[in-house]
Structure 1
């Protein structure tokens, strides 16, 4: 992976993380705002699809993150891997899940990201955010 491709991947991942940080309402507002030139029907459909996609991604990541035991010494690295897998599958297609080389691809991407100092710090922050979100969602459900 070249430096440019790594930067593009980092931008994609940052974008996905930012989307995960937004609530469904915020995602809908942002989509509507950026699509002001589209018809009201197109905006509504696009917003709903984007919100559904982000919510689905967030839910899948949260379930997988909560399944990693808190005392697991490689927990943050595993959390990041869950995130990378989810983002790559969303961007490249769910059919890759059954491809035996997909796991190798994820390993290579994660290793390259961890070797870059700035990306490594961003990876650690991403894992922290994902852990906090996963357990915050659980706490909210328990309060209902």
Structure 2
């Protein structure tokens, strides 16, 4: 299945939905969308004339807010949950970066041999038999 140049994948960050369409797609009233914006839970894009434009990501966020509030969670709880989810996403991304870096160090050690590598440029490695490897970076 190929992607045609005439039907590109939409960017989830592209602010394309007017407020009436966003309200219909999320099942929320336009005033609710405006209220969520005033509360700082959502930040839609703006046109040159000041009209709101919502992205697909905004619609997902609005649905999540609606789900949480309908489950009895207050606005401050929703705000905290969403902040924690952003933090978890950032930590996952950082973890993947560190795993990639660890993999690169392991490959380098395998290619060069630990004894041949310059000690001041490699991280300090400690590994007990049958356990995970811990990498400590030396600070310059």
- In the superposition, the TM-score normalised over structure 1's length comes to 0.28
Query: Which is richer in strand?
Result: 2
Higher relative contact order (CA 8 A, sep 6+): 1
* TM-score normalized by the length of structure 2: 0.28
Question: If you compute each CA radius of gyration, which structure gives the higher value, 1 or 2?
Answer: 2
Higher helix share: 1
